[in-house]
Structure 1
Amino acid sequence: MLDQITELFMQYGIWGLFGMAFLDSFISPIPPFFMQIAMSLLDPGSALRFATVAFTASILGAPIGFLLGKWLGKPLLHKLLPEKWVVVATEKFAKNGDAAVLIGAFTPIPFKVFTVLSGVFNYSLTKLMLFAIVGRGLKFFLIGTLFYLYGKHAKVLLDEYLEVSLLAAAALVAVGWFIWNKRRKRYA
């Protein structure tokens, strides 16, 4: 089923990639990552353009996920969970939301999870957008740059080293965030 949906979007080329990346920010079960790789494999010279399209669409969709979480997610959460759990979850997201959104924007975890939860837990839309720009930018442009520089051989590199590379990059992002947060608190 995922392949069929991806093929449907692939028929529309760059606009299909835009649509898939946009929808990924708030509803789609299929990450645009796979379509970006497929398109970059077919045309490595356009890989950075594909990265720009996917990045832009993903960022434009993030506020919609945020608003869906705020309008629909919060009432649903209050119906499904006891109030004390909602309070604890809100406090945890307020405390660790920066790291969650930054790392979540970069990792293979569906981005919509973080945009919707940001709205549900009253996370700052400004911070969501800032961390989405950093995390999504790293993710899409890393892939685009690999294909632009290495052509079709980038697929072999991604197949062999993707998981390790993403974990290492996520760890570096987490360490960078931790250091930045500590310095910010020290000078505040």
Structure 2
Amino acid sequence: MKGKLAFLEKWYDATKRAAGHKRATPILCAVSFAESSFFPIPVDLMLMPMVQARPKAWWRLALIASFFSVLGGIFGYFLGMLFFDTIAGPVLERMGKLDSMNTFSDKVNEDGALWVFGAGFTPFPYKVITIMSGAIPVSFGIFVTASVLSRTLRFLAVAGIVRLMGETAERWMKEHFAIFTFGLFAVLLVLYFGLKAVMPH
């Protein structure tokens, strides 16, 4: 693994070896929840080897990751709403997410729902989204809806492609995950604005 995720290589390999363990699913639940508010390791790095180990359960694993990721996102939302100045903000700043915080704060005022969806789907740090959404605040209903859609589509896409293409897809996404998610998001944007243009007002 190259770039800023290189330090996760040993963790990734250990997770892949343990992906078929009977306790792998509870660990996936915990990682999915924690990654949405404070844990630095992307859920996808655990989801991909688990799908490799249990390909027939790809959709169930993706939905489990989505459900607990959204629950963790809701936790992060209220963490941002209630404790941003004392806890959440300083933690994000120490994690080097200050630029991401400022970017999200600026963009969310332009189109909150679309930005939350896009940030939840792409490699933009989801923990920043959840905490800042509560601090700004973004409407809770909009936040939950955008989070459910983005996280479910992302994890189903990752798990589904790994299920279909096996180790080839897993290796490629491991090296080029940002390109993969941004590419899918671009396709969704084209579909969204295309449908918006042809639908009657």
1:74 to partner: Cα distance: 5.1
Spell out, residue by residue over 1:63-105, the C-alpha distance to the aligned partner (whole angstroms, 9 max, x if none): 111101111115676xx9xxxxxxxx86752323222211111
Normalised to the residue count of structure 2, the TM-score between the two structures is 0.72
Q: Kindly, what percent of the aligned residue pairs are identical? A: 24
Q: Secondary structure at the match of 2:64?
A: helix
Matched AA of 2:161: L
1:16 to 27, 31, 38: 27
| Separation in 2, partners of 1:183, 1:97 | 23
Match of 1:49 in 2: 60
Q: Which runs of 5+ in 2 are unaligned?
A: 1-6, 94-103
Q: Which runs of 5+ in 1 are unaligned?
A: 81-88
Are 2:47 and 1:32 equivalent residues in the alignment? no
Alignment of 1:1-188 (within 5 A): 2=8, 7=14, 12-73=23-84, 92-159=107-174, 162-176=177-191
RMSD, matched Cα = 3.3
| Separation in 2, partners of 1:99, 1:67 | 21
1:122 to partner: Cα distance: 1.1
Assess, with a 3 A threshold, how the Cα gap between structure 1 residues 147 and 91 changes in structure 2: closer, same or farther.
closer
Q: Secondary structure at the match of 1:95?
A: coil
Match of 1:86 in 2: none
1:5 to partner: Cα distance: 5.9
Matched AA of 1:132: S
Q: Secondary structure at the match of 1:170?
A: helix
Q: Secondary structure at the match of 1:27?
A: coil
Assess, with a 3 A threshold, how the Cα gap between structure 1 residues 163 and 54 changes in structure 2: closer, same or farther.
same
Paired residues in the alignment total 176
